[in-house]
Chains A and B, each alone.
Chain A
Amino acid sequence: MNNVKKRKDPLVRISKRDVPVWWKSLIIRVVAIALALVVCAGLIVLVSDYNPLEVFKTMIEGNFKTERKIWNLVQNTAILLCISLAVTPAFKMKYWNLGAEGQALIGALSTAAGMIYLGDKLPQPVLIIVMFVMSVVSGMIWAVIPAIFKAKFNTNESLFTLMMNYVATQLVLFCITFWENPKGSNTVGIINMTTEGGWLPALFDQKYLVNILIVTAITVIMYIYLKYSKHGYEISVVGESENTARYIGINVKKVIIRTVLVSGAVCGITGFLLVSGTHHTITADTVGGQGFTAIMVSWLAKFNPFVMAGVSILITFLSRGAGEIATILRLNQSVAEIMTGIILFFIIGSEFFINYKVNFRSGKKEGNK
């Protein structure tokens, strides 16, 4: 006993906060993002002789200078938000779906197939509905295969879904060899360039407005689904503790599969929006890694769809701004990825200071609480 008392307290001791105070959390997050931006600017200054203030000015101009740039910002945000919303239900259940990339790609693939094979056979509204359904169903199928094995045999879902991404990529490359236009180019080109068959229509002359409205609707629906529906409740119980869920009579396997189907469906919709509403073509890179970024967006937003919108804007703003800097300074476009990485590190690290309290050793004995 004496032995223990003689020992000094450690210099720093950490303890868990009971309930994080919202304004403290906000301050910590803002400070983290500010610090990250300083580091990013420092990095740019280091590899070029650019003035740090100029860095931020360029980033803002790159996003807001023209009306077109603003629309692009909102459009890119919408896509990232859509795929983040897609991973959220499964994620909240602690089902690590790293396969959003592939699920969205498969959705994109079936949308493209619809455009190519049915483009001149069906009237436009019917075609769009058919393509939408195809993308949703294919996204669901791609997502549910790992989920079935997870529910039945507890197969590791994060690696399974990860591998499914590459199978999806190869499937797209396989299809491209049949669809390539012109022959030998190994790209599909803009599909139905003249007829615009299967293209989502422009609303008020804004070609991305439909995308944005659809994603807004999904955001609201997802919020209600997670917060107020019985399904949403079951998801959070399974996420907190499978044993508790079983104890109160939730069929865990059923919930896992159902939730993953929801995730896969929204991923499929993302693919649909990417092909039918944005690019009107398909490549193996159509989703462009956003399936992975989405996982981080969803987690940073603590699964709240509206916070997710904010995080998506931040990430999109940064990567577009970094792209602008790269273009002006003739640097490699990967600057955007580096900046995203740095911002994520800081936000991830800041979570600690929100959830835990750091107590420094003080001279006085506080007594044990």
Chain B
Amino acid sequence: MITTIALFLKQAIIQGIPLLYGSTGEIITEKSGNLNLGIPGIMYIGGISGIIGGYLYEFSGAELNPVLLVLIPLLSSIIGSVAMSLIYCVLTVTLKANQNVTGLALTTFGVGVGNFFGGSLSSILGEGGTISLIETGKAYKQTLPFAQDLGLFGEVFLSFGFLAYASIIIAILASIFLNKTRKGMNLRAVGENPATADAAGINVTANKYIATCVGGAIAGLGGLYFVMDYVGGAWTNNGFGDRGWLAIALVIFALWRPHTSILGSILFGGLYIVYLYIPGLSRSSQEIFKMLPYVVTILVLIITSVRKKREHQPPQSLGLSYFREER
């Protein structure tokens, strides 16, 4: 029994990590007042850019260095995600376009790019077959050497690749940044009321750009984790599924606090797969159980809006473009 629960917990953590990356990235973005609905697309891009980088290196014929096997996909993933975030920023911050529409277009685009290159990268480069980056996947799955010797504890808490621990560290750092540093408070001021922040001498445009790009890069790592560690260095079309939207849901669940979304992500990850662990479920009731993460999000939305606590509300200017000359 204990073993089942422990293994369930481990699976929940595994499922939760992409969500945690996505929600940490989106929280930082939203704190600047940008509601980036392009996060699902950015996560696809983060994954596929990592695959492309890894593919170019692993099949370049050079001798494979484990550090580079990790670094090259990591950097290409970040570059891809930041490029996507820049498209979003140029359109919504500089060109003051509608954030919802831009975000949705970004998601359409990102999912398209991901599936396109995932499906035809090898045929474009003149080689057939599907992509499988065995060595890169191995490098990403590398666990602590002594993890196996620690029994169940090691299995549940120490059996992940480095991106899993990084997600938790990044979430904690994001919380500290937003709540304890001057720069973080400036950023929150921009998200709450850009006109006031502007008057106080905070550069609104720069804050929005940087927050959205950093947030996008973090979210993209969720995609990278998924393709490299979870899948083990391969791409399946739409394999990432709707996790991007769940990450956005997790932002609300965590009430815009990255440290809360650490536990939230494990809970969501658990809800995502709990149907596999309840014995005797028929196929039809499994489908009902798969509704759980969405239903829970809806409940959280309703409860927070009914309670109307001020510290639980989204940033006040969320979703609005800022134009200095508009009064």
Measured CB to CB, the residues of A under 8 A from B are 14-16, 47-48, 96, 98, 149, 153-156, 158-160, 162-164, 166-167, 170-171, 173-174, 177-178, 289, 292-293, 295-296, 299-300, 330-332, 334-338, 340-342, 344-345, 348-349, 351-352, 355-356
| Contact status B98-A348, CB under 8 Å | yes
The listed residue (A48, A149, A341, A351) touching B95 by CB distance below 8 A is: A351
Looking at the complex, which of B53-61, B137-145, B301-309 is the stretch in contact with chain A? B301-309
| Contact status A174-B288, CB under 8 Å | yes
What distance in Å separates the Cβ of A348 from its nearest Cβ neighbour in chain B?
5
Q: In the complex, what distance in Å separates the CA atom of A35 from the CA atom of B104?
A: 21
| Contact status A295-B116, CB under 8 Å | no
- Chain B hits for A352, CB < 8 A: 94-97
Q: A155-B305, A340-B112, A349-B90 are in contact. Are A167 and B105 (CB under 8 A)?
A: no
| Contact status B252-A341, CB under 8 Å | no
| Contact status A348-B105, CB under 8 Å | yes
| Contact status B108-A337, CB under 8 Å | yes
Query: What are 20 of the A-B contact pairs (CB < 8 Å)?
Result: A98-B37, A155-B301, A156-B314, A159-B252, A159-B297, A160-B301, A163-B295, A163-B297, A166-B294, A170-B290, A171-B291, A289-B108, A296-B101, A299-B98, A332-B115, A334-B114, A337-B115, A338-B112, A340-B112, A344-B105
Most buried by A among B108, B291, B308: B108
Measured CB to CB, the residues of B under 8 A from A are 37, 87, 90-91, 94-98, 100-102, 104-116, 118-120, 123-124, 237, 242, 245, 248-249, 252, 282-284, 287-288, 290-291, 294-295, 297-298, 301-302, 305-306, 308, 314, 323, 325-326
| Contact status A164-B91, CB under 8 Å | no
| Contact status A332-B101, CB under 8 Å | no
| Contact status A96-B287, CB under 8 Å | no
What distance in Å separates the Cβ of B184 from its nearest Cβ neighbour in chain A?
24
- Chain A hits for B104, CB < 8 A: 98, 292, 295-296
Q: A159-B249, A162-B245, A345-B87 are in contact. Are A332 and B108 (CB under 8 A)?
A: no
What distance in Å separates the Cβ of A25 from its nearest Cβ neighbour in chain B?
15
What distance in Å separates the Cβ of A304 from its nearest Cβ neighbour in chain B?
16
Given A160-B302, A167-B291, A171-B287, 19 new contacts (CB under 8 A): A96-B100, A149-B302, A155-B302, A160-B298, A163-B297, A164-B294, A167-B294, A170-B290, A170-B291, A170-B294, A174-B287, A174-B288, A292-B108, A296-B105, A331-B116, A331-B123, A337-B111, A337-B112, A345-B87
A-B contact count (CB 8 A): 159
- Chain B hits for A177, CB < 8 A: 282-284, 287
| Contact status A166-B245, CB under 8 Å | yes
| Contact status A47-B124, CB under 8 Å | yes
Residue of B nearest to A348 (CB): B97
- Chain A hits for B294, CB < 8 A: 163-164, 166-167, 170
Q: In the complex, what distance in Å separates the CA atom of A340 from the CA atom of B105?
A: 8
- Chain A hits for B284, CB < 8 A: 174, 177-178
Interface residue SS majority, chain A: helix
Q: In the complex, what distance in Å separates the CA atom of A159 from the CA atom of B100?
A: 11
Q: In the complex, what distance in Å separates the CA atom of A162 from the CA atom of B109?
A: 19
- Chain B hits for A342, CB < 8 A: 109
Q: In the complex, what distance in Å separates the CA atom of A289 from the CA atom of B40?
A: 14
What distance in Å separates the Cβ of B15 from its nearest Cβ neighbour in chain A?
16
Q: A164-B298, A166-B294, A178-B284 are in contact. Are A293 and B91 (CB under 8 A)?
A: no
Q: A296-B104, A330-B123, A332-B115 are in contact. Are A341 and B302 (CB under 8 A)?
A: no
- Chain A hits for B115, CB < 8 A: 332, 334, 337
- Chain B hits for A167, CB < 8 A: 291, 294-295, 298
- Chain A hits for B98, CB < 8 A: 299, 348
Q: In the complex, what distance in Å separates the CA atom of A156 from the CA atom of B326?
A: 25
Q: In the complex, what distance in Å separates the CA atom of A289 from the CA atom of B87?
A: 22
Q: In the complex, what distance in Å separates the CA atom of A292 from the CA atom of B118?
A: 23
